[in-house]
Every structure is written in structure tokens, then in C-alpha cells.
Amino acid sequence: MGEKIEVELSGKLLDEIDSLIDGAKILNRQQAIESILERSISCERVKKAVILAGGKGTRMRPFTYEIPKPLIPVGGRPLVQHTIDLLMENNIREVIFSIGYLGEKIREYYGNGSKFGIKISYVEEKQALGTAGPLNLMKDQLNCSFLMFNGDILTNIDLLDFIRFHHRHGGIATIALKTVPEPSRYGTVKMNGARITKFIEKPEEKTNQSLINAGIYVMEPEIIDYIPEGKTMMEHDVFPKLAAEEKLYGYPFEGQWFDTGTHESYEKAIKKWRSR
């Protein structure tokens, strides 16, 4: 049961609030005001993002013989810059890069982030640590909810709604999920409501399941407790444990999403990506 409060608002502000009523997610003024407050609070609770940028990008050779995959251009800008822009638009201005192969070029380009208006720090993978292992290198820096992105995706996901969804459900991790026509290349999920009950990374068998792991996550610091030392994969080693404990959730989203891991998908992204 909520508590009723009275607040006097100007007509102009009420017009702005009413503009949020869409008849779908937000039906009235109360829900609009609650949405504004939840977005503000959720934003305050997530200040950091981790970007995994240590892979060799073997499927993107010969480009990646000289250029780390996150710096390959899309729309005349480095691929990963589009993720950084999305973070900045949502007032998330602390980024931790996990770097490895050709990581010095990422560090040379971005430095400490000051010329881009953000704060950037780095952890270096002396050997490949997979999609989960790098978090062990930065565990002292992860003391509250944080976002994590694969370094080779393009998306315009509504981050604040994603974060709000995560906090409402109270899991340790929430995976952004995207519908694709050919899911066999990606991680597919089985759901019970909003909860993920099973996670299958890149299944070899044919499947009609179209919700795939989009490589974007909101996580709590407790995720570190589930990650062994050394090379560890979120998809195989961590997510199944969380699913078994009913602490893993999925957030299906609309909007743009491109995986640029192959020449074919990179070409598609170049042709279809619409910059904000």
C-alpha cells in the first residue's frame, strides 16, 4: 500500500508529465510521475559500466590484425564510441575497459576519457579471461549495481528502463534479450515470466526460440562470488548457477541492436545503424 502525498505543480510541468502517458506502459499521471522518480533513482544507483574489449576478433580479420574490434568504424566513429555515447546520454560517466589484444591502441585512443567527458579506467587481461573472468580484475571497483556490455555491439536500448526493470525484480543479474530470426548463433533463453530458467549459449541444434542474449547486462557486485579465477564464461559458468538459484532475469527490448562479430553482420550494421 502506497502513501498518498500532495504536491503542487505548475501547468507547464504537468504538460510535460502528461506527454509521457502513452496508453501502454504509462496510463495516467500517477504512473507518469512514478516513472520519472523511478528513472531518477535508478540512474543514481548505476554510475559505472564495464565494456569487454579484450577479444582478438578473429572472425573480423584481416581488419583486426591491426585494429582492435571495438575501434573498427561505424558511421565514421569507433564502434565502441556509440556505446559510450549511449552511456553519456544516461548520465553514466564511469567506464571500465577490460583490454587484452591490441589493448594499447584502445588506451592510446581513449586515455583517461577526459577529452570525451567521461572517466575511463582499464584492467588488462594478461591472458584471455572470457566474458566473466575480467570482473575478478576489477572487483574492488564494483561496489554497486553496474552495467556490462560486449564491446562489439551497437544498440539504442533504453538503459534507464532496463535498470529500473532490474531493480524491480531484485535479481543478481538481468540480461537484455533481443528477438532475432536466426537465433542459433547466439545464446538462447527459456523464461518463466521475467525469470530466466535456462540459458543455452549458441546451441548447436536447430531451435525456434528467438530471444537471444544481446550482450548487455545489469549486475550486482555479488556476481563476483559466482566467478571462479581464470578464464570463465558468463554463458556457461555463471548464468546457469544464477538461473538455478532463481536470481537471473531477462529484459526483452525493442529498438536497434547489431552484432558486428562477422563481416556479414558488420556490413549490415554499417548499412542499417541509425545514429542518435
Residues 11-25: tens digit of each pLDDT = 777 777 888 787 766
pLDDT bucket at 206, cuts 50 / 70 / 90? low
pTM confidence score: 0.79
Distance CA(250)–CA(141), nearest Å, equals 25
Measured at the alpha carbon of residue 61, what is the angle toward residues 272 and 203, in degrees to the nearest 5? 70
User: What tens digit of pLDDT does each residue of 150-191 get?
Assistant: 988 889 999 989 998 999 888 999 999 988 777 666 667 888
Distance CA(113)–CA(85), nearest Å, equals 12
Q: Residue 215: helix, strand or coil by DSSP?
A: strand
Percent of the chain with pLDDT over 90: 34
- Burial class of residue 233 in the structure, from the number of CB atoms within 10 Å of its CB (0-12 exposed, 13-18 middle, 19+ buried): middle
Q: How many domains is the chain partitioned into structurally?
A: 1
Nearest CA among 150, 175, 156 for reference residue 165: 175
Chain-centre distance for alpha carbon 120: 17
- Quick check: is 259 in a domain? yes
Distance CA(97)–CA(53), nearest Å, equals 6
> Which domain does 79 fall in, by range?
40-272
User: What tens digit of pLDDT does each residue of 232-248 get?
Assistant: 998 889 999 999 999 99
pLDDT at 87: 93
Residues 6+ apart with CB under 8 A from 215: 149, 150, 152, 153, 176, 259
- Quick check: is 4 in a domain? no
- Mean pLDDT, range 110-117, rounded to an integer: 91
- Quick check: is 7 in a domain? no
- Quick check: is 29 in a domain? no
- Quick check: is 125 in a domain? yes
- Quick check: is 26 in a domain? no
Judge whether residue 135 has pLDDT over 90. yes
pLDDT at 14: 78
pLDDT at 40: 55
- Quick check: is 19 in a domain? no
Task: Give the count of beta carbons closer than 10 Å to the beta carbon of residue 140.
Answer: 7
pLDDT at 62: 72
What CATH code is carried by the domain that includes residue 129? Answer: 3.90.550.10
- Quick check: is 13 in a domain? no
